[in-house]
Amino acid sequence: MDECCDFRSDIPERQRRVLTIVLWINAVMFVVEFVAGLASHSTALLADSVDMLGDAIVYGFSLCVIGRGTAWQARAALLKGGIMAAFGAGVLAEVGVKIARGLVPAADVMTGIGALAFAANASVLVFLWRRRGDDINMRSAWVCSRNDVIANASVLVAAVGVAVTGSAWPDIGVGLAIAAMFASSAVTVIRDARRRLSQLAAG
């Protein structure tokens, strides 16, 4: 019994260490991808960089609610879902600007930065894997990280498409796919958080 209690009481500190590491990984990669996305005119890189920034903010929120109880964690998860939905809308707006200007991204920059971002987010997913079942807070953080890895792989696919076709449409298509993924994940996280808050209110 004591060992079980000791293990559970240590979980918030373990969560704190993991979230601090992944927060800094995402913050650094946001800067790298954002600058590269602007320089290469890549919708996919810019979308992924904004996702990195959103995740850094999300992990910051997650650190704030560790150990504060289920209600705080559910509210944080609800906020995370709202952030993901907002980023999905932002990607759609950027795609519109891209089409209007007729810009073609630099495939080589997309490939190099996309590969770096993929490696960074894969490491984040590994850090969060063992903590994903702790509570709704860590579960939603893991969902964000999983989406990042999928988005990074999509950026690499887009880079190949741009290199082969010489067109911006593979980049635009991936940007739209990332937006759709944001929307789907946002709905899932918001639904789970609202269900948990409803259960707490009823209890």
- In the chain, what are the domain boundaries? 2-202
The model's confidence at residue 4, banded by pLDDT at 50, 70 and 90, is very low
- Average pLDDT over the chain reads 79
Residue 97, amino acid: V
What pLDDT, on the 0 to 100 scale, is given for residue 7?
29
What pLDDT, on the 0 to 100 scale, is given for residue 94?
75
Task: Give CA–CA dist 94/55, Å, rounded.
Answer: 19
Check residue 187 and report its DSSP letter.
Answer: H
Check residue 160 and report its DSSP letter.
Answer: H
Residue 89 vs residues 93, 95, 156, 161, 183: alpha-carbon distances, Å: 6, 10, 22, 24, 8
Q: What is the pLDDT of residues 133-146, one digit of tens each?
A: 666 766 777 777 78
Residue 10 has pLDDT above 60, yes or no: no
Residue 60 vs residues 6, 40, 52, 100, 167: alpha-carbon distances, Å: 25, 29, 12, 36, 38
Secondary element (H or E) of residue 83: helix 70-101
> Maximum Cα–Cα distance for the chain, whole Å?
65
Task: Give CA–CA dist 35/158, Å, rounded.
Answer: 18
The model's confidence at residue 8, banded by pLDDT at 50, 70 and 90, is very low
Task: Give CA–CA dist 109/124, Å, rounded.
Answer: 22
What pLDDT, on the 0 to 100 scale, is given for residue 1?
34
3-state secondary structure string, 50-77?
HHHHHHHHHHHHHHHHCCCCHHHHHHHH
Residue 163 has pLDDT above 90, yes or no: yes
Looking at the whole model, is its pTM more than 0.75? Answer: no
Question: C-alpha 53: how far from its chain's center?
Answer: 8
Across 182-201, average pLDDT: 79
Q: Select the highest-mean-pLDDT range: 23-27, 75-79, 97-101, 142-146.
A: 23-27
Q: At which residue do the structure tokens 């907002």 appear?
A: 86
